[in-house]
Amino acid sequence: MIELSGIPVYKSIEIAPVFLYREADIVIERSKINEEEIQGELKRFEDIHSKALQELAQLKDQAVEKRQLEEVEIFDAHLMMADDPMMTGKIKNRIQQEFYSLEQSVEETKKEIMDLFLNMQNDYFRARSADVEDVANRFLRIALGIESNRIDIIQEDVILAARDLKPSEASQINQFIKGILLEEGSQTSHVAIMAKAKGIPTIVGITGLLGQLEEGEQVILDSIGNHIYLSPDETILSEYQTRQIQLIAKRKKMEAVRNEEAITKDGRVIKLYGNIGNAEEAELVTSSGGKGIGLFRTEFLYMNSRHFPTEEEQFNEYKKTAQQGLEDVIIRTLDIGGDKNLPYYEFQHEENPFLGFRALRFTLANKELFRVQLRAILRASAFGKVSIMFPMVSSLDEVLQAKELLEECKKELDEKQINYDKAIRTGIMIEIPSAAIIADILAQEVDFFSIGTNDLCQYTLAVDRMNKEVAYLYQPLHPAILRLIRQTADAAHAAGKEIGICGEMAGEATNVIALIGLGVDELSMSPAVIPEIKTLIRQINYEDTKEIAKKIVACRTAEEITLILKEEESKYDY
């Protein structure tokens, strides 16, 4: 028996034989052409390009029919990438100017653009290199007449193991794929997104996986505890078969409360919302039992576009979300810069981009861009409950400037007699320690706070969690973080304002016990974990969590705090 581990994506347990999936090799035999062959190669590329667009459009249509919203979005992005002059132009230039064959031109362009993405600091953008590879390899397979391997022909329960899966391959996953194991990948890859949406337990980043697997051998995939057992012995197998039965019963219990309130046993209602990146994902929130959107990440509208989105483009996206009848849709204004760049805007080089020209700092310096977004959000507020949230606030002056621009936009709409919610709420992200420290001052100027725990931890602890050398210091349960959360919650409540959490802390059951005790009113998370968190909340007593909060705030280390919370968590059956 061999035991492995990696990076868990969607948490569950599965036991099944392994199916080894390997991509067809792409071998390029000819690299250079003669000058007289240029026009012929360009014509070949036109034909291949047209066929690739047809294939991608067909994949998108199939996803639309199946209402697989994440896949629709992915293939939309692939269609845009396949037709992007950045890619097609470079391929043609290499044919015309460097006398490369079509295949070699595609291969060189693929490497160049992939390197561009892989050298970015942001995990989301690094993961997009797989999209470039997928689109370019589609061109190559068509050019070389290579038939794509098929995953959807699998007709028996298996755990799929591969080096990696491209989105076009992951889209073939059917009901017989019970789990996924990958040597490569990350939590923000398209495969991870698809696996979460389909509820398939997945572990990625498993070093040396394929070299230790044999086709058809029995595998236990435990993405809850991050364990993979190859050819498990009878004791381990029996233990996990029992765990599976318990997990099924647990999921039935969660389903039973899906449409119920997230309310503690002693009557405290916690608003349970979801984080989304586009209008389609709002449906995932409601189907998971969420009552609203705690964080609409509007930067994805900008990053997936070829230009700054127009007011109409943004309005239509926000309107679609507002019309879904949710308790609230909190739309965060553009949070770009730092590690999130735009393909059509060049940020100046910065020594410390995370501390630089980003988020609210960027929009306040680009007021017309900011006005476009604010008008779009205001107009959408006429079609449902919408709130506006400003990111990365560090001072009162920034809040006042943003509010002044918002008032100017309201006047513009009034003059044009365009409807919007006159009582629209405005809030801010508490992500910088300075904002938490002056929360009592900021609370006088806004309607609500939402703590972005990811950045609050990064800035408070001076830790880049993507840096393997210091990632162990990234501790959301560090005493300093909990004290800042409590201080911010107290300031909000003293001013009669609500406070939420929209960082990753909100989606971890252990943390939720602490957060509720510290006074948080709203938790926003990935839609996939809403049922689990709701089931837990309905079993706890708010008064008990307040006592636990007092105890952990007095602790000296994150280890002490974790032990207390884990012991408390073990009392609940969720």
Structure tokens at 209: 């996986």
Which one, of 131, 134, 137, lies nearest residue 189 by Cα?
A: 131
Looking at residue 175, its pLDDT comes to: 83
- E strands, 84-134, in order: none
Q: Which residues contact 204 (CB under 8 A, 6 or more apart)?
A: 6, 7, 9, 180, 181, 182, 184, 185, 186, 187, 189, 191, 192
Residue type, 385: K
Q: What are the residues facing 273 on neighbouring strands?
A: 292, 524
Percent of the chain with pLDDT over 90: 56
420 phi/psi in degrees, rounded to 5: -160, 165
Q: Cα 446 to chain center, whole Å?
A: 27
Question: Where are the CATH 1.10.274.10 domain residues in the chain?
Answer: 35-144
Q: How do residues 472-530 score in pLDDT, each as one tens digit? A: 888 999 999 999 999 999 999 999 999 999 988 998 889 999 999 999 999 999 887 89
Q: What is the pTM of this model?
A: 0.73
Q: What is the rounded distance in angstroms from the CA atom of residue 163 to the CA atom of residue 302?
A: 31
Report, in angstroms and rounded to the nearest whole number, the Rg of the chain calculated over CA atoms.
Answer: 25
**For the chain, how many residues are written?**
574
Rounded CA separation 162/459 (Å): 37
The amino acid that residue 280 corresponds to is E
What class, spelled out in words, does domain 257-569 have in CATH? alpha beta
C-alpha–C-alpha distance, residues 260 and 291, integer Å: 10
In which residue ranges of the chain is CATH 3.50.30.10 found?
A: 2-23+150-253
Catalytic site residues? Answer: 190, 502
Residues of the chain under the 70 pLDDT cut: 24, 66-70, 121-124, 148-149, 167-168, 187-188, 190, 197, 338-339, 465-468
CATH number listed for the domain at residues 2-23+150-253: 3.50.30.10
Task: Give the position of tokens 């990811």.
Answer: 454
Write out the two tokens for 534. 């709701």
The pLDDT of residue 478: 96
Give the pLDDT of residue 374: 98
Give the domain 35-144 fold: Enzyme I; Chain A, domain 2 (1.10.274)
Q: Provide the 3-class DSSP secondary structure of residue 267.
A: coil
| pLDDT value of residue 339 | 63
Cβ contact 446:427 at 8 Å: yes
**Sequence ranges of the chain with CATH classification 3.20.20.60:** 257-569
Would you give the distance in Å from CA 533 to the centre of its chain? 18
> What is the per-residue pLDDT for 482?
97
